[in-house]
Amino acid sequence: MKYWLKKPGHKDFIGPLSMDEINVEISRGFLDGDCEMLEAVGQSLGTLKKTTGWTAIGSIKPVTAATEMVMSAEINQHRKDESKGDEAPNSYLEKVRGKTCYAALRDMIGVFTGAAVVLFLLLAVFAIATGSQKGDGTTIITGIAIGAIGCFFAIASKQASVLLIDIADVLIDQNRRR
């Protein structure tokens, strides 16, 4: 059986190669577990470009001991790279937020927070206007205090909600890596 191969991010195809030839190329370091393969059944190059269902070599049980050793070394190196902790927490969090499962919820929280802040500010402006008309300083101070406290709690609620979503996204990301 022969297979077509392609490296991620490349447009060129390799093959068709037999499994033994693939093992040789892996042991030489030309191919790695990230390369994708597809069974060669007479496809044209034009058809290959449109074909889906490519499988990562790393997800297929290696045929030879040499291939297994090379792929095991690659996996261990990848784990070492991940465990170094070189990535800053903020950049990791931004990366996780970019792959969030809760984008709509994040947007909805932002909209509700914005609306709540606007309503509290309008309440403060209304209290200031009412207090100015009546000449009542207590109403003005109360309106400003309610507006400020309301804005604070709206923003704090948003941060707490986003924190919970971040926790869920980080847990999902960690489970994907296992």
Q: For 71-92, what is each residue's pLDDT tens digit?
A: 555 555 555 555 555 567 777 7
**What percent of the chain has pLDDT above 70?**
82
Question: What is the residue-averaged pLDDT of the chain?
Answer: 78
Per residue, the 3-state secondary structure of the chain, as one string, reads CEEEEECCCCCCEEEEEEHHHHHHHHHCCCCCCCCEEEECCCCCHHHHHHCCCCEEHHHCCCCCHHHHHHHHHHHHHHHHHHHCCCCCHHHHHHHHHHCCCCHHHHHHHHHHHHHHHHHHHHHHHHHHHHHHHHCCHHHHHHHHHHHHHHHHHHHHHHHHHHHHHHHHHHHHHHHHHC
Q: For 155-173, what is each residue's pLDDT tens digit?
A: 999 999 999 998 988 888 8
Q: For 1-37, what is each residue's pLDDT tens digit?
A: 788 787 777 777 777 788 888 777 777 777 777 778 7
